[in-house]
């Protein structure tokens, strides 16, 4: 079932609701620059186990509205709050991949973990996606600025290059084409604006505000969000569990699909 939910700034957010209505709720936030369909291989399996999966397209992506402004982590976390309140979701698990993980962290800090009982972070783009004077990890800000420039001049080529370092295992051409199509379906401007947030936002002070059990899923071969990110999140988040994926790159949800789904179900139960 799919429907739209309005936010306080009149942006409509697309939500897909899969699985039994009385099932334990897992709310999933996709990463940059794709949409909720990246979780296809979780949507296929978890509802069979009795889970209700709520998935939203971040504004600017998928079927959600594409406003010209409003792509800060604060605003994107407020969109999560709007969905949770509208659907009257209680005692749920929140999961976020890559930039979606960063937004989930900001949600936990900004909204004091409202309605969340557990948090799952998948290859999260945190604590900071880019290097800083006191933080030598991740991409240089200039590298992300180049991605933004490519987005405005040749977005298909940018997506092709980004996709080449996404997965650690062999991916068929058909799968590559499908995955790239998710990025092509996004708003070009929304893709660039959220990349600016990836470049500029700093979540280090948010980590200590998370007070629910947290699982950190992270690929040890990740070339986009290096594994040290997971180690820093594990250190900064009280009551967190680090689950390494030895054979995975950034796309751990597909690189080690069976392990990913198995560990996620274990953590949720």
Query: Distances from the Cα of 192 to the Cαs of 40, 150, 241, in angstroms?
Result: 25, 9, 32
Q: Active-site residue among 30, 36, 218, 250?
A: 250
Task: Report whether the peptide linkage leading into residue 239 is cis, meaning its omega lies within 30 degrees of zero.
Answer: no
Of 254, 251, 264, nearest to 215 (Cα)? Answer: 264
CA 109 to chain centre: 16
179 contacts 83 by C-beta, under 8 angstroms: no
Q: Phi/psi class of residue 39: alpha, beta or left (left: φ > 0; alpha: ψ in -120 to 50)? A: alpha
Query: What are the start-end ranges of the E strands in 126-269?
Result: 214-219, 240-245
74 given a catalytic annotation: no
The first and second tokens of residue 19, run together, are 């699985």
58 contacts 15 by C-beta, under 8 angstroms: no
Q: Active-site residue among 78, 222, 240, 248?
A: 222
d(CA 29, CA 122): 10
d(CA 163, CA 110): 31
Tell me whether strands 214-219 and 240-245 are parallel, antiparallel or unpaired. parallel
222 given a catalytic annotation: yes
57 given a catalytic annotation: no
Q: Active-site residue among 64, 98, 115, 128?
A: 98
Q: Which sequence positions are flagged as catalytic? A: 98, 222, 250
């Amino acid at each position: 079932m799919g429907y739209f939910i309005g936010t306080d700034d009149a942006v409509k957010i697309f939500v897909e609701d899969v699985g039994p209505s009385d099932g334990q709720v897992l709310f999933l936030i996709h990463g940059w620059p794709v949409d909720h369909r990246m979780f296809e291989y979780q949507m296929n399996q978890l509802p069979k186990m009795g889970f209700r999966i709520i998935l939203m397209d971040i504004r600017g992506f998928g079927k959600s509205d594409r406003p010209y402004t409003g792509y800060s982590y604060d605003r994107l976390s407020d969109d999560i709050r709007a969905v949770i309140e509208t659907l009257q979701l209680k005692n749920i698990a929140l999961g976020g991949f890559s930039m979606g993980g960063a937004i989930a962290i900001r949600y936990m800090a900004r909204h004091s973990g409202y309605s969340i009982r557990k948090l799952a972070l998948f290859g999260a783009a945190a604590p900071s996606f880019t290097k800083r004077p006191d933080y030598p990890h991740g991409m240089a800000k200039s590298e992300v600025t180049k991605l933004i420039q490519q987005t405005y001049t040749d977005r298909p080529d940018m997506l092709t290059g980004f996709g080449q370092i996404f997965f650690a295992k062999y991916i068929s051409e058909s799968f590559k084409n499908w995955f790239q199509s998710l990025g092509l379906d996004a708003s070009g401007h929304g893709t660039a604006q959220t990349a600016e947030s990836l470049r500029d936002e700093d979540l280090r002070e948010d980590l200590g505000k998370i007070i629910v059990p947290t699982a950190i899923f992270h690929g040890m071969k990740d070339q986009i969000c290096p594994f040290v990110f997971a180690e820093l999140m594990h250190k900064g988040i009280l009551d967190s569990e680090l689950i390494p994926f030895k054979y995975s790159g950034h796309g751990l949800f597909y690189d080690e699909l069976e392990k990913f789904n198995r560990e996620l179900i274990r953590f949720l139960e």
